[in-house]
Structure 1
């Protein structure tokens, strides 16, 4: 049975003044930790995730906690299920084997995917689990290229692994500094943390003015972000936390940005 999800915007959503006489490509980016398709009622509900995506109509989607053919999702490939509903291109970056399938990060794109890569991230802390970043290069209208990364950083209280993971991501950013890049995902870090501070040395934070995103029923922690590189190439038009309380334990964030 399909259920209707009503989407609202938190009062902490932010709009930004449009730059005068600036032309470029407008891109809408959604970041969403989908909790392997399990909703807050403990039920597998990929349609709930699809409803959020369809309602927000993004161009690029960064998904975290994505299952591919695992037992707990009845061997479904969650990205392929979402692609069938949305008509978008997909890439799955597997972080680890799990229950006969894979678990990691996913990307949905309205733009053709030219290249794809899974970036292994260090995870050495006691109780840590394998982490990665899914990275694609997409072709925008006019044939310009954009890199897009979906990632999920370490969850431990000790920030050591997260700091190492951010540094690895920075190395990949600077490997092709001329290309614009968006990193979106669940960073498992608060805005005042060293990890987010490292990102903001190089990236503009499209979600800087937004409020908390986790847990979805009564959010108290901001963990989900959209970062933009190179800062001078971007203008943030708007950013929102979507008030969806059931489909996942995180609320999604969406940013509409202008690539100049």
Structure 2
């Protein structure tokens, strides 16, 4: 099926000159891929790959990723994306589901040196297991960076999300290694959950608008967060106007690690 080409224009922030600051420029994409099902109800992981290839990110955080479930006909979605994009891959399992696994994924142009999954608390009766997939990658010049993809609780009651953000803060504040945390946080910018995260992280996506639902977005649920705040400058950011590949719009940020 022929897909539309995605055109992007990312504008340098006023007063920002890359020549004035030494560092590593990193492009990050965060995308809830709805287990590869597009808004037409079709299973189309190639549509997600098209978005990734068109935007050419260095790191990709993916949520709602199926691995060998019945609903995706036993496909390993991350391996398919890795094959189509040529990137390194890690899958963080949140739970067993429909004959396979369900969780968060990471794609990286940088070699992955370490990978692990952080289980997140889900205590309410209607909650489901959640996690953060985490990798440590080696950047050009041999500096190290942590990158995490997470998907927080979806219920109206924020209790589990608050517990999950507290767990993330506790884990990531243990050392000062630079970190990018990206994902579907299922919380609006003014919520307690987002403000709790911003006590530690800078929100690179702060100026962006709504991301869900993808056809006519009304809620901002998808974020890219940076730690420690002093090590990062935000070059530009964008919510992509992609309305078919998933029920969320992808978020992309270009960042400078100083």
Quick check: TM above 0.5?
yes
Once structures 1 and 2 are overlaid, which stretch shifts more, 17-26 or 95-104?
17-26
Greater RCO (CA < 8 Å, at least 6 residues apart)? 1
The 5 A counterparts of 1:1-260 are 2-8=1-7, 15-17=12-14, 18-19=16-17, 21-176=20-175, 178-260=176-258
Kept in 2, the 8 Å contact 1:185–1:225? The answer is yes
- 2:125 aligns to what SS in structure 1? coil
Structure 1 51/150 Cα, relative in aligned 2: closer, same or farther at 3 Å?
Answer: same
Q: Which consecutive aligned stretches of 4+ in structure 1 deviate over 3 angstroms post-superposition?
A: none
Question: How big is the shift at 1:192?
Answer: 0.4
Task: Report the TM-score when normalising by structure 2.
Answer: 0.96
Distance (whole Å) between structure 1 residues aligned to residue 122 and residue 212 of structure 2: 23
Residue 65 of structure 1 deviates from its aligned partner by: 0.1
Q: Distance between the aligned counterparts of 2:5 and 2:108, measured in 1?
A: 24
What displacement does 1:216 show?
0.1
CA contact (8 A) 2:119 2:130 kept: yes
Deviation for aligned residue 1:9: 5.4
- Does the CA-based 8 Å contact 1:128-1:154 persist in structure 2? yes
Q: Deviation per CA, 1:184-212: give whole Å up to 9, x if none.
A: 00000000000000111111111000000
**Structure 1, 167-176 or 13-22: larger mean CA deviation:** 13-22
Q: Distance in 1 between matches of 2:127 and 2:8?
A: 34
Aligned residues: 256
Contact 1:5 1:51 in 2 (8 A): no
Q: Output one character per residue of 1:12-40: Cα deviation in whole Å (capped at 9) or x when no partner.
A: x8752325611100000000000000000
Distance, in Å, in 2 between the alignment partners of 1:15 and 1:123 is 40
Cα 1:138–1:254, aligned 2, differ >3 Å: closer, same or farther?
Answer: same
TM-score (norm 1): 0.96
1: CA distance, partners of 2:78 / 2:196: 30
Task: Report if the CA contact (8 A) 1:204-1:229 is conserved.
Answer: yes
Q: Give me the CA root mean square deviation.
A: 1.3
User: Over residues 90-149 of structure 1, what are the superposed CA-to-partner deviations in whole Å (9 max), with x where a residue is unaligned?
Assistant: 000000001111000000000000001110000111211110000000000111100000
